Chain A
Amino acid sequence: MDDILQRIATCIERGKVNATSPYPPDLKGQDGAHELTKAALEMGVSPSDVLAQGLVVGMNSIGRKFSENKVFVPDLLMASKAMQAAMVHLKPFFESGEAKHRGTFIIGTVQGDLHDIGKNLVSMVMEGGGWQVIDLGVDVSTEKFLDALNAHPGSAVGLSALLTTTMVNMEKTVAAVRAQHPDTKIIVGGAPLTAEYAKKIGADAYAPDPQGALDYLVGAVA
């Protein structure tokens, strides 16, 4: 059992989606995240173990390498593709309640900003860390964040911005979330941001990379 979970973790980290996927070349022809996850569940491994000892381990490893600048966006994207292929098999267990998320994370790119690559990377790593992700998309108004928080009370919130002209819109959203849901953990990130900026606008944390967001929340909520 440990072996198959280890292999799932490797497939996630290396971005090996399924047996027919040509990527990465050295794993060509071998089973991928899709086949191995299916097999593990059929063998009777619990969905929670598949998540915690397979998917989470693999995504954590690639997420950490990404934050250490050892791998790049394409590597993270391929890992996420493999994770999605595994997640398909776990979804019914989350729905039935047999498997549980670590928490719920609401994320969106702030109002006026249409960029989604950074936001998507954070979503992927959070999901790979065992969190339920509510992705509100791009150009998200303060009201939409508040609506999502009302629908999913107790969630953490992530705000993304790529432009200096739109990061100023974070401040308003942070203030509104604080006013209505004072205990909400709020993380901000994006190319023009700094820890100093995050602090000044009242966010709980600045995440320089996706793993940073996950690590902060695991520490803050656990």
Chain B
Amino acid sequence: MKSIREDVAQKGILVSDGGWGTFLVAAGLGPGECPELWNIDHPDVVRSIAKSYADAGADIVMTNSFGGSRITLEPHGLADRASELNEVAARLSREVAGETIHVLASMGPTGKLLMMGDVTEEQLYNAFAEQAIALERGGADACSVETMAALDEAAIAVRAVKENTALEVVASFTFNMHTDTGYRTMMGVSIADMAAGMLSEGADILGANCSLGPIERIEVIRDLRAAAPTIPILVHPNAGMPHRADDGCVTYPETPEMMASRVPELVKAGANIIGGCCGTGPGHIRAIVAAVRDGRRSTRKS
């Protein structure tokens, strides 16, 4: 199977998947329960989420392994099952993806801050290496070090994947607009510093995920493209900021049609891989797939 980079080079734009957490909760994942344990206890549910995105036409499906490092699993008493939970996460998505869809394995932050001495560099490295090795063994093609805010943690994660596996690596950060300093992560990392730092560790693809309203996502991708002119860029925005409906449920304002309508601008800004984060579902991905097809058609005509 081609690498994601080769596929981007050939097709220009790939569509990845949307949110996972909300679908696990809808299927009964309780508050405080470990989502990754559902890979073992409810594999049918996890597979059905991947399948909903494959059916929507995604070129890439992700895995249920965002909180799968032993550091994140530790409070659940599952640290020693890190390898097993990640391997199964990748296998479930691979079973759905077959040989035609890429499996991009999710690796989220540990929630520990190096600068506060919460964790050592060695502990971080070992935890991310263990997770990546297991994801590769389970059949992932690539992994996404995602929702990152701290440069040091993300650098260690990318290095751990590169030094221990053959997986392609996406490095994806979460940025917010700050009045004086422009787009930064909560740890103060700018888009330019993120791109330079991640490329020097060997990241193959750069990205921005979570947060990102309709305007922000365009600006962030434009800045990221300026910082890394030749690297494939992934964008996984939220479907806007969450609202509370009158029945107490949380809803997101952007409909599939609204998100899809932004696709041409995102492509123009420099995005190569487009999917979604919180609040997005198969409907959003289906609409994005259609918008990308329309874009290809109009490019051919012109």
Q: Does A99 contact B (CB under 8 A)?
A: no
Q: How far is the CA of A166 from the CA of B33 in the complex (A)?
A: 11
Q: How far is the CA of A165 from the CA of B30 in the complex (A)?
A: 9
Q: Shortest beta-carbon distance, A173 to chain B, in Å?
A: 12
Chain B interface, DSSP helix/strand/loop, else mixed: loop
Q: How far is the CA of A197 from the CA of B31 in the complex (A)?
A: 19
Q: Does A44 contact B (CB under 8 A)?
A: no
Find the A residue at minimum CB distance from B251. A164
Q: How far is the CA of A165 from the CA of B23 in the complex (A)?
A: 10
Asked whether, in the complex, the Cβ of A197 is within 8 Å of the Cβ of B244, the reply is: yes
Asked whether, in the complex, the Cβ of B187 is within 8 Å of the Cβ of A112, the reply is: no
Residues of B within 8 A of A192 (CB): 241-242, 250, 278
With A74-B187, A169-B31 as known contacts, state yes or no: A194 contacts B250, CB within 8 Å: no
Q: How far is the CA of A78 from the CA of B178 in the complex (A)?
A: 20
With A116-B111, A117-B111, A117-B113 as known contacts, state yes or no: A72 contacts B184, CB within 8 Å: yes
In-complex Cβ contact of A197 among B30, B116, B243 (8 A): B243
Find the A residue at minimum CB distance from B116. A77
Interface residues in A174-221 (C-beta closer than 8 Å to B) = 191-192, 194, 196-197, 200-201
With A165-B25, A197-B244 as known contacts, state yes or no: A69 contacts B180, CB within 8 Å: yes
In-complex Cβ contact of B179 among A69, A115, A168, A197 (8 A): A69
With A165-B22, A165-B31, A194-B241 as known contacts, state yes or no: A77 contacts B115, CB within 8 Å: yes
Q: Does A18 contact B (CB under 8 A)?
A: no
Asked whether, in the complex, the Cβ of B22 is within 8 Å of the Cβ of A164, the reply is: yes
Q: Shortest beta-carbon distance, A201 to chain B, in Å?
A: 7
Q: How many A-B contacts are there with CB distance less than 8 Å?
A: 78
Q: Does A55 contact B (CB under 8 A)?
A: no
Residues of A within 8 A of B184 (CB): 72
How large, as a class, is the contact surface on chain A?
A: 35 or more
Interface residues in B102-135 (C-beta closer than 8 Å to A) = 111, 113, 115-116
Interface residues in B158-214 (C-beta closer than 8 Å to A) = 178-181, 184, 186-188, 211
Q: How far is the CA of A171 from the CA of B250 in the complex (A)?
A: 12
Find the B residue at minimum CB distance from A163. B21
Asked whether, in the complex, the Cβ of A77 is within 8 Å of the Cβ of B113, the reply is: yes
Q: A residues engaging B (CB < 8 A)?
A: 68-75, 77-78, 81, 111-117, 138-139, 163-169, 171, 191-192, 194, 196-197, 200-201
Q: B residues engaging A (CB < 8 A)?
A: 21-22, 25, 30-33, 75, 111, 113, 115-116, 149, 178-181, 184, 186-188, 211, 241-244, 248-250, 278-279
21 A-B pairs in the complex with CB atoms less than 8 angstroms apart: A69-B178, A70-B181, A72-B186, A72-B187, A74-B115, A74-B188, A77-B116, A114-B75, A138-B75, A139-B32, A139-B75, A164-B250, A165-B22, A165-B25, A167-B242, A167-B250, A169-B31, A194-B241, A196-B243, A197-B242, A197-B244
